[in-house]
Amino acid sequence: MAKKAEALTSAYDELMAKAKEITILQTAESIIHWDMETKMPPKGIKLRSQQLALLSRIEHRMTTHPEIETLLSKTEKHPDYDTLSELQKRNVYLTRKQYDEQTKLPEELVVETAKQQAITIDVWKKAKAAKNFSTFKPELEKLLTLKKKAAKILMQVKATATPYDALIDIFESKMTAEKIARIFEELKKGLVSIITKCTNASKQPDTSFLKRNISLDVQQKISNELAKFMGYDVESPKAGGRIDETEHPFTTGYYDDVRITTHYYEDNLASSLFSVLHESGHAIYEQNLKPEWIYQPIGTGCSSGVHESQSRFVENIIGRSREFWVYFFPKLNELTGNAFSNLALDDFVRAINHVRPSKIRVEADEVTYCLHVIIRFEIERQLIAGEIRVADLPEVWNRKYNEYLGVDIKNDSEGVMQDIHWAAGAFGYFPTYALGNIYSGQILISLERDMPKWRHQIEEGNFNDIKKWLVQNVYQYGNLYDPAVLIKKTTGVEINVKPYLEYLNTKCSWIYGY
């Protein structure tokens, strides 16, 4: 019996050693991607695309090596398999899932996709700056063809109903487009009702002062102060984070090296302010996973939707709350040389929470934001199904923006080219933004139950106790559960749109007096 137990332990330990090597390679890839977006000179794209293609080839060979199948089989078929802990079984399950999916994908498809993603992102940046969709279109078509090939293959191994479901599963395990469509229909009805009440209200916030010029160096100092409030260290000798500037804000990294980016505009302080809060929400989730789970499959965030719930929770539920600005508004005035000292606190809070349909998702207010996401979900669902072509995207996009948000798109840079996601091949990711908002509403209910005085703590500048609660109820579980299971464990109920809509309605009724 002892020898059998040793054999099981040995196979499992070897499997986790392989998982560690793969994880280390993936973290190196993430830093190369970070460099491509932040520090790489323009001429470097040709070499960078080849570097990423080679790393993808190496990673694919590592994840599909026959030895992993041997170790998995030894572990799964061992007569004492049931003696493994819940954590160990989850590690085995996640490794098996990755192995089965990756072995079905041809190596050349993986390599070509990685290379094309780098090229498409580079062309997207130039096309967006030039407001010229025609130069972006052929590269996006190439990438879409590759992603659709992968989706059809993954559809079989994941046993999903459609290729698009297979892509969604990459970001939100066990979620389907059909379920998302039902959830989004309820969400859309609730949002339209709130938007109507806000736009029809006689009491409208003055937002003109948000366009006051704030120098970029001052905005960088504000970013560092926001990070400090969150406990995201970017300044000390032991810092595990940093803030850089990119075309599109993002977070990347792992445990002790998690980096965020933002975009500064002198006449739009709110843009960097809320993007830093958003990305810091991602970062502190990554940095507060269980340290003993590092390099294991369970030692990652649960899903993109859960990740977005944490970033949107910090950005909006904390960052746009009156309580946060009771604490931070004096600091903002100090840092900006009293640029907003002639404003009443409540006028500032109402302005940063104004509801106004707009063209740009990342600049959207909290209420209309999910409509931007719903538009993207509907478009990419049709795109993957072959119901629309890449050439149709500008027309479809502009029509939906007029129908859903009542805005007219003047050029494709403020339209279909505003996001990096499709250029990066992240089809299936967009729905997770809205799912994250919904999750954040449910998490808020649980927080208020357990910490009824949390708002007072924010007024005092204390985010640490709230973060401890998030660690205990969300972060510490890593990827131990599928997202639907984690949300039910944290909130006690299945995914539910109502708490998020109630949170928005309560806030907006104060802002607009309806």
> What sign does the CA torsion over 167, 172, 175, 179 have?
negative
- Pair type for strands 257-262 and 243-245: parallel
CA 447 to chain centre: 21
Query: Which candidate, 498, 176, 443, places its Cα nearest to that of 318?
Result: 443
CA 452 to chain centre: 28
Length of the chain (residues): 514
Which amino acid does the sequence have at 346? D
279 catalytic, yes or no?
Answer: yes
Query: Which candidate, 315, 254, 253, 311, places its Cα nearest to that of 282?
Result: 311
Q: Is 408 exposed, middle or buried (0-12, 13-18, 19+ CB in 10 A)?
A: exposed
Which amino acid does the sequence have at 379? I
Residue written as token pair 């299971």:
485
Number of CB atoms found within 10 A of residue 435's CB: 28
Sheet strand arrangement including 243-245: 243-245, 257-262, 251-254
Listed in sequence order, the residues at least 6 apart from 369 whose beta carbon sits closer than 8 Å to its beta carbon are 361, 433, 437
For 251, the 3-state DSSP assignment is strand
Annotated catalytic residue: which of 279, 308, 315, 378?
Answer: 279
Listed in sequence order, the residues at least 6 apart from 310 whose beta carbon sits closer than 8 Å to its beta carbon are 281, 282, 284, 285, 436, 440, 470, 474, 475
**In sequence order, what are the beta bridge partners of 258?**
253
**In sequence order, what are the beta bridge partners of 257?**
254
- Catalytic residue ranges: 279
